[in-house]
Structure 1
Amino acid sequence: MYTITTVTQPCADTKHPLLLLQTVHGDRYMFGKIGEGAQRAITENKIRLGKLENIFLTGKLDWSSTGGLAGLILTIADQGKDKIVLNYGNKLINYIISSWRYFVFRFGINLQSNVLSSKDNNQLYKDSLINVKAFTVAPRLSNEPLFNNTEDTVLNTIVANMFPKHPPAAKYDPTSDPHLNVELPRINFEQSSTNYEISFNPIRGKFLVQEAIRLGVPKGPLFAALTKGLPVTLEDGTIVSPEQVLEKQRRFPNVLILDIPDDSYIPSFKEQFSNYDSEHLGTIYYFLDESITINDELIKFMESFSTSNKNIKHIVSHPNISLNNLAFVGSAITTLKLKALQLENYNLPRTNNFLSKDFYDCFEKPVPSGTSLIQSQEDTLQTDLPKSNVYIMDKDTTVTIDATPVDESTDNYKCQVDTDGRHRNDDDKIWRELYNTHIEPLNLPTVSYETLVTNQKNQNNFNNSKEKADHVEIITFGTGSALPSKYRNVVSTLVKVPYVDENNKISQRNILFDAGENTIGQINRNFSENKKKELFENLKMIYLSHLHADHHLGIISILKEWYYYNKSDINAKVYLISPWQYNKFVKEWLLLESPEILLRINYISCEHLINERVCRMETKPINVDEYVDLMNEECSESEATSDGESAGELRSLKRRKLELNNMTSFRNIKMIRSMYEDLNIQRFQTCRAIHCNWAYSNSITFQISNTKTFKVSYSGDTRPNIEHFANDVGQNSDLLIHEATLDNELQEDAIKKRHCTINEAIDVSNKMNAQKLLLTHFSQRYPKVPNIMNNVKIKAKEYCFAFDGMIVDYEKMGEQLAILPKLGNLFVEEAAEEQEEEKTQLAIRGDKKQNRKEKKTGKSKKIDK
């Protein structure tokens, strides 16, 4: 009747657990955390979102647990879904949504937030199938409200205006909208954790037709009344009750989802659930964050639920318990194929694990070979829990829940936990299976398993030798556009630029151009801990080209990881170059969870680097009190209009122009000079991209040594910009990184969406006189290989087409040219799969169209009747 499957688990690709509850009729609910990578996992697992309406967020709301939520909502809206509800245990959810206001705007979808507070026993989620009760748990009691009534109203109004029912009449800029460009209220509190109990509505027993006939009940309306639980009276006066003709009612076991952020919460969890009735409990999920210690206290808490019910299934998720499985197998296969042609241009995705010896020994779980074990306490953990009832949450963990007659004991609850076992194999078996299935059939010469996998496992090919120390290197963490897909993550490009001082000492400057969602997951899969540390210690700048979500939803994670590796060096700073609105978002978010990072960010507006005499001014936000006055004024105007005042006056109020901040027209020369000095930059210029408002292309000239420079230009998203980009700021670049979103025959689409075709990108390179060209940001309609043949002549000395995880030595950039003719043969099976998927989608769309037609016809017949 019901199944609960694992969408994501703690691993390098996806940091937190997410569950999908499905009914036999296809209704869907999500429970857990929507972290970065969740959307891609949904695509990987071919999960349809058409019948998804409710998302129940668990634990604390920080970026780690909600970094994929904005992107998922945008995708759901773009798929035509008209309603989604975000459920959580307090009103912080509205602050989270409001913080997206400068880059999330979709009409036609009704986004609602629903607070399920454990302080109000009547505030439950209920529908015809399930009931969900929330439990909010905090380390310390607090009676302080999160927001006052005014702040609540402001946040609710902002959310409503981010998702209007109808599109704006003209070109829309949220920064000029007085309903959105509002300062958010300050928050200073300790977060609570939201947890859920899911109960399922019981179902009536089977109707006993023959028994009803025997009792003299005629077929028809009386049958229907009995099935609805109503007694009926026969013609002779006999009363037949439902119990006489219905089998016993059937019920389902409950499910409990507990999300424990750290050890300080465990005493509060013990107190909260000390009197919990677990008699009808079938399964408990434990979402344990990485800071939770696997020790006696935790095990005793788990045991407390089994006092009255020994048959509860316990499913545990923790970074040191769940395996570091490949969440994105399709992407890993693509990397393996490309690596087979260019061995040193890709890192094999890492699957190494540190597992809890305490837990695996306590519950006698098999440890995969080659795994490192860590121990939390000296004494061996002991437990009274049946070891067969404790499961490790894995990629394919599925709970199946069926109905049981109400008078049967909990021993007979039909609650089954299944794992298919494939992903519990050791590392070598996983890679051997992928090699045998996907590489061997290609019949590539001299690419043995030992060469491709055994000798390359845990090897790093980026900045890995003295010979490459003084070379510019590029690694493309993501090369797709719009949204993460099975084969391409959204765009993110890191460029390593060396600097050789007068003593011939080489230092590195890592520059990140855009960082789409889950760039951090790509880094985790590509690098060991030591190499990650080196990468982030050398990360000096993050550049954001514009405010579209596919270019920046990974930046907060990158900033947090940068701080983790650099916090001990009090002089370390990272430069953030972005449109001014994004800086406001960074401040609002980091004030919520990590305000100390703000002191280490040197921010410069893209506008202050513009190669023009005058900078555009920023718009002043409205403070909360002003916003309330504005809403009251609008309300009064609405009432006045209804009393006969002209609608024109009301419209003029809604079009009220926000005040400009005159001071922002002055460039931050001090910070720019500091950046030049700290990063050994000779020149940094931006120009306005032809894409959306506040979008930029850039060009940076680095000093490589006292006598040598290196000029890199990055297009961001744009139409071909010959005048300002090719002929001006980017002229004579050593390296051009340019978007090539669409194939050449789709020029009309490119014009409409303000992107470039491959030929248009090449034309920019030719006009720029770029020495070398890297093409990236391909449409997700080209998941494997874009059109790499039959393009216009490229004048650059060398060029290449980017793939996810590709490592390019600038000195050897043209080596890809030799393998271009072979790329088409690599992806025959993916092409077949894609065609099959297209057929399925066409069939689904055809069914929906037919259903709409039938509904329309049925409605017409009803009207005629």
Structure 2
Amino acid sequence: MSLLKFCRLTLYGTIRAFGKRRRTTDMSKAATDFAATPTYERQPNVLRKKLASVVPGSVNVQVLGAGANGTPCAVYLFTDQSRYLFNCGEGTQRLAHEHKTRLSRLERIFVTRNTWTAVGGLPGLALTIQDAGVRSVGLHGPPHLDTMLQSMRRFVVLKTMELDTIDGTLFDYFEDSILSVKSVPLHSKLEEGKVVLSYICKLKPRAGALILEKCVERGVQPGPLLGQLKNGQDITLPSGEVVRSVDVTEPGETALSFVFIDVPSEEYFSALQEQAAHFKELSATEVTEVALVVHFSPPDMTARADYQNFMDSNFSQCTQHIYLNSPLNHFSGYAAAHRIQYQLHQLAPHIFPLLAEANELQLSNGLKKTRLEESPEAADAKEKPTKAPSQGVVPMTSFHLRPKKGLDRMLEIKLTPDEYVSETHALPGFSDLLTQLKSEQNRIDSSSSSTYPRIIFLGTGSSIPNKTRNVSGILLQTAADAFVILDCGEGTYGQIVRLYGRKQAFHVMRHLQAVYISHLHADHHIGLISLLLERENLKPKAPLLLIAPRQIEPWLQFYNNKIEHIKSAYTLVGNGELMEQPLSDERLVAMGIQSIATCLVRHCPHAFGVSLTLQSQHEGAPVKLTYSGDTMPCADLIDLGRNSTVLIHEATMEDDLQEEARVKAHSTVSQAIQQGRDMQAKHIILTHFSQRYAKCPRLPSPEAMHDVAIAFDNMQVTVPDLQNYHKLYPALLAMYAEYTEELEQRAAKRELKQERKRKLAPT
């Protein structure tokens, strides 16, 4: 064996042993340090700081929201140790929860606009990741982001986390150990001061592999110097000789770039053309490659010939284009909502209708590996300008930048209805109970399509959305062409679109007459801006009647004055103004409502309950509907809702969590039912369940539930439906038997724990 070969093998073995030992030691120490850190001190960037000098081996761009059916456009960039989010529209955190995307590890958020389209998800996301222990997140975007957050301070209370806002027009460059991000401002040509941002991102290239023979020739001894050379650092030997990393390593990888472009309307397009030099220089040298362009621009812009010509002129044919907001992006990505709806649909199709999105859904067969906007027919016509994208994307469409694998559709979310239904029939006893239920239903006239009010639940969960229960939102159809919304948490408008379909959702929004907001906790009103913007776009004859705490006014005025015009979309009436004198005027006549009255409830300052008395139909008695908002048991609410036809009451906690409910000023299931009994309500509907009860809450005895219904998202009921709702429970509980058994086990463990505490407590 030659001396050189012997030295090479010895050196190679030493390098491997050293590298393995060092990695094991470093990782073990990092894991030990992290485990020893108190939960409240764990931050998503702790591990990153320990690995700051390590170039990530994996970098992926993942579509979180594609803009389909009321969902936001949001893109998640993740590496081995860092996470970045580009745009954070309303509903982003729910999509992240659905697809197990850990937003608690976010370090930077880059937004292209300061409008609700791009930032509507920030309030909810900020509150959620604050609860997860995150201490700070960098927020890059256009001007006014800081003042917008300041204007939200009444309902977005950040006590332990800081959103560090960076104006991208003043500080246009961000860099860390993984990538650099340059913001490209596009100024409006019609209105001074209006600006949107596009972003140019460049990955730090990985150094090439060590050439061991050259290390031996230069006299580099085994040890940490080899690691420095491998990481691209020059070293000095004991003899004083300088060894350059570039001389003993293979050529590094080509530096990859990727771009986010947002041109909201024609008034910004000339600004994009003026900034063309920023994009051209990316491909000017052989050491840089533009791998991907993500378009946040709306479809009426991306379909324009001059927009497409700009892309062809500034990016190569090898660049992949992903178009968000495309009309070809058919699926919202909320598979769990469809799953539970298909399952509940078996019990009562008229109460649990299938989401219209499922009927409209026509997913593409697959994307080309080159350009998304190119159809197969145009594959041989490279010289022709591309038009609109011919194929769409859905949540979990990914693009692998490192390793450079390109587009990946393997993890894309798809619907499998047959699987959802077959799951339930595999459960013990469910099929027999379903058959029995159907037999009973055949003897009951369940046709109530012309009966009003119709109560449609858009969100039945509390605090934060999860994949099966969105936050508070109830749609009342009070007449054939009249709709009222009670509370509108984040994602309410999207729920309407997915339930009704785009065409019918347009009808609902055009005939939406009023919005009632019970109190100013974020999960009850963050969806309001989307509703107002949609109404503004429809240009209705009369503004929306907005009944809300007067304390919401500064926030709405700020948004109207600094961001987008919404003032003409609503007329504000304070909840407190209806306490002494119920509202009863010509505005309510078209809604089929006689009067609206309110009372203060026991939750937070300026929290209200409401009672609506609807005009009688078919010479019947008026229907009185009472909604609690969030509250502990409340005597004033009982007085307000006396002799209600329907009480909709929050039931956040199960019965053995009464103390927790008291501390958080909420009600348990049995407390909510008792409220209905005390006011002599004919029917009670429970909603606003803690997200620990994502499928079904713990319920009291069947006897206690005879006139009580539990609400699910996308459930719609009339008063006749409620008379027979209790007949659904045997099949419903069989469907969720495993889940409810788990709840019972948790309750038993809590009871044992409390019993031990009582025994150990001093007498």
Kindly provide the amino acid, as one letter, of the partner of residue 30 in structure 1.
L
Secondary structure, counterpart of 2:68 in structure 1? coil
Query: How far did 1:436 drift?
Result: 6.1
Query: How far did 1:230 drift?
Result: 2.5
Over residues 520-546 of structure 1, what are the superposed CA-to-partner deviations in whole Å (9 max), with x where a residue is unaligned? Answer: 111101114453344234422211100
Kindly provide the amino acid, as one letter, of the partner of residue 630 in structure 2.
D
Q: Is the 8 A contact 2:543 2:570 kept in 1?
A: yes
| 2:534 alignment partner, one of 553, 561, 578 | 561
Partner of 2:69: 12
CA distance in 2 between partners of 1:834 and 1:264 (Å)? 55
Partner of 2:735: 826
| 2:524 alignment partner, one of 546, 551, 555 | 551
CA distance in 2 between partners of 1:676 and 1:39 (Å)? 36
Secondary structure, counterpart of 1:253 in structure 2? strand
Partner of 2:458: 477
CA distance in 1 between partners of 2:174 and 2:739 (Å)? 42
Partner of 2:443: none
Query: How far did 1:810 drift?
Result: 1.0
Partner of 1:134: 183
CA distance in 2 between partners of 1:345 and 1:676 (Å)? 27
Partner of 1:364: 375
CA distance in 2 between partners of 1:679 and 1:416 (Å)? 53
Kindly provide the amino acid, as one letter, of the partner of residue 40 in structure 1.
R
Partner of 1:699: 611
Map 1:509-588 onto structure 2 (within 5 A).
509-565=482-538, 567-569=539-541, 572-588=542-558
Does residue 305 in structure 1 map to residue 305 in structure 2? no
Over residues 158-198 of structure 1, what are the superposed CA-to-partner deviations in whole Å (9 max), with x where a residue is unaligned? Answer: xxxxxxxxxxxxxxxxxxxxxxxxxxxxxx74632211111
Q: Is the 8 A contact 1:508 1:538 kept in 2?
A: yes
Percent identity, aligned pairs only, is 27
Map 1:53-452 onto structure 2 (within 5 A).
53-58=107-112, 60-88=113-141, 90-117=142-169, 123-140=172-189, 189=192, 191-209=194-212, 211-220=214-223, 222-223=225-226, 226-227=229-230, 229-235=233-239, 240-274=243-277, 276-279=280-283, 280=288, 281-292=290-301, 294-306=303-315, 309-322=316-329, 324-351=330-357, 352=360, 363-364=374-375, 384=384, 392-402=392-402, 414=404, 416-420=406-410, 430-435=415-420, 438-439=423-424, 441-442=426-427, 444=431
Q: Is the 8 A contact 1:741 1:776 kept in 2?
A: yes
Kindly provide the amino acid, as one letter, of the partner of residue 2 in structure 1.
V
Secondary structure, counterpart of 2:185 in structure 1? strand
Query: How far did 1:210 drift?
Result: 5.4
- When residues 366 and 473 of structure 1 are mapped into structure 2, their CA distance, relative to the original with a 3 A threshold, is farther
Secondary structure, counterpart of 2:629 in structure 1? coil
Map 1:602-617 onto structure 2 (within 5 A).
602-611=571-580
Secondary structure, counterpart of 2:282 in structure 1? coil
| 1:28 alignment partner, one of 64, 83, 107 | 83
CA distance in 1 between partners of 2:553 and 2:535 (Å)? 17
Partner of 1:854: none
- When residues 438 and 288 of structure 1 are mapped into structure 2, their CA distance, relative to the original with a 3 A threshold, is farther
Map 1:453-852 onto structure 2 (within 5 A).
468-498=449-479, 508-565=481-538, 567-569=539-541, 572-595=542-565, 597-611=566-580, 673=585, 675=587, 679=591, 681-704=593-616, 708-722=621-635, 724-726=636-638, 728-790=639-701, 793=704, 798-827=707-736
Q: Is the 8 A contact 1:349 1:526 kept in 2?
A: yes
Over residues 362-382 of structure 1, what are the superposed CA-to-partner deviations in whole Å (9 max), with x where a residue is unaligned? Answer: 722699xxxxxxxxxxxx998
Query: How far did 1:678 drift?
Result: 5.8
Q: Is the 8 A contact 1:320 1:355 kept in 2?
A: no
- When residues 43 and 267 of structure 1 are mapped into structure 2, their CA distance, relative to the original with a 3 A threshold, is same
- When residues 114 and 245 of structure 1 are mapped into structure 2, their CA distance, relative to the original with a 3 A threshold, is same
Q: Is the 8 A contact 2:536 2:568 kept in 1?
A: no
- When residues 385 and 511 of structure 1 are mapped into structure 2, their CA distance, relative to the original with a 3 A threshold, is closer
Query: How far did 1:548 drift?
Result: 0.3
- When residues 531 and 221 of structure 1 are mapped into structure 2, their CA distance, relative to the original with a 3 A threshold, is closer
Query: How far did 1:310 drift?
Result: 3.4
Kindly provide the amino acid, as one letter, of the partner of residue 91 in structure 1.
P
Does residue 49 in structure 1 map to residue 103 in structure 2? yes
CA distance in 1 between partners of 2:225 and 2:460 (Å)? 64
The worse-fitting range, judged by mean Cα deviation, of 782-791 and 201-210 is 201-210
Query: How far did 1:513 drift?
Result: 1.0
What stretches of structure 2 of length at least 5 have no aligned partner? 1-57, 439-445, 745-763
Secondary structure, counterpart of 1:36 in structure 2? coil
Partner of 1:654: none
Query: How far did 1:598 drift?
Result: 2.3
Q: Is the 8 A contact 1:21 1:28 kept in 2?
A: yes
Q: Is the 8 A contact 2:462 2:691 kept in 1?
A: yes
Query: How far did 1:216 drift?
Result: 2.8
CA distance in 1 between partners of 2:386 and 2:574 (Å)? 59
- When residues 821 and 433 of structure 1 are mapped into structure 2, their CA distance, relative to the original with a 3 A threshold, is closer
Partner of 1:168: none
Over residues 286-307 of structure 1, what are the superposed CA-to-partner deviations in whole Å (9 max), with x where a residue is unaligned? Answer: 222144261322221221123x
The worse-fitting range, judged by mean Cα deviation, of 800-809 and 529-538 is 529-538
CA distance in 1 between partners of 2:188 and 2:73 (Å)? 22
- When residues 721 and 269 of structure 1 are mapped into structure 2, their CA distance, relative to the original with a 3 A threshold, is same
- When residues 285 and 528 of structure 1 are mapped into structure 2, their CA distance, relative to the original with a 3 A threshold, is closer
TM-score normalized by structure 1?
0.70
Over residues 217-253 of structure 1, what are the superposed CA-to-partner deviations in whole Å (9 max), with x where a residue is unaligned? Answer: 3334654664562242454x65544344333333431
> When the two structures are aligned, how many residues end up with a matched partner?
660
- When residues 137 and 744 of structure 1 are mapped into structure 2, their CA distance, relative to the original with a 3 A threshold, is same
CA distance in 1 between partners of 2:222 and 2:276 (Å)? 50
- When residues 730 and 285 of structure 1 are mapped into structure 2, their CA distance, relative to the original with a 3 A threshold, is same
Kindly provide the amino acid, as one letter, of the partner of residue 779 in structure 1.
S
CA distance in 1 between partners of 2:696 and 2:395 (Å)? 28
Secondary structure, counterpart of 2:666 in structure 1? coil
Query: How far did 1:418 drift?
Result: 1.5
CA distance in 2 between partners of 1:604 and 1:238 (Å)? 80
Over residues 762-792 of structure 1, what are the superposed CA-to-partner deviations in whole Å (9 max), with x where a residue is unaligned? Answer: 1111110111111111000000011134278
Over residues 97-123 of structure 1, what are the superposed CA-to-partner deviations in whole Å (9 max), with x where a residue is unaligned? Answer: 122122111211121101222xx6x74
Secondary structure, counterpart of 1:444 in structure 2? helix
Q: Is the 8 A contact 1:718 1:754 kept in 2?
A: yes
CA distance in 1 between partners of 2:450 and 2:377 (Å)? 43
Kindly provide the amino acid, as one letter, of the partner of residue 786 in structure 1.
P
TM-score normalized by structure 2?
0.79
Query: How far did 1:551 drift?
Result: 0.5
Query: How far did 1:338 drift?
Result: 0.6
- When residues 114 and 476 of structure 1 are mapped into structure 2, their CA distance, relative to the original with a 3 A threshold, is same
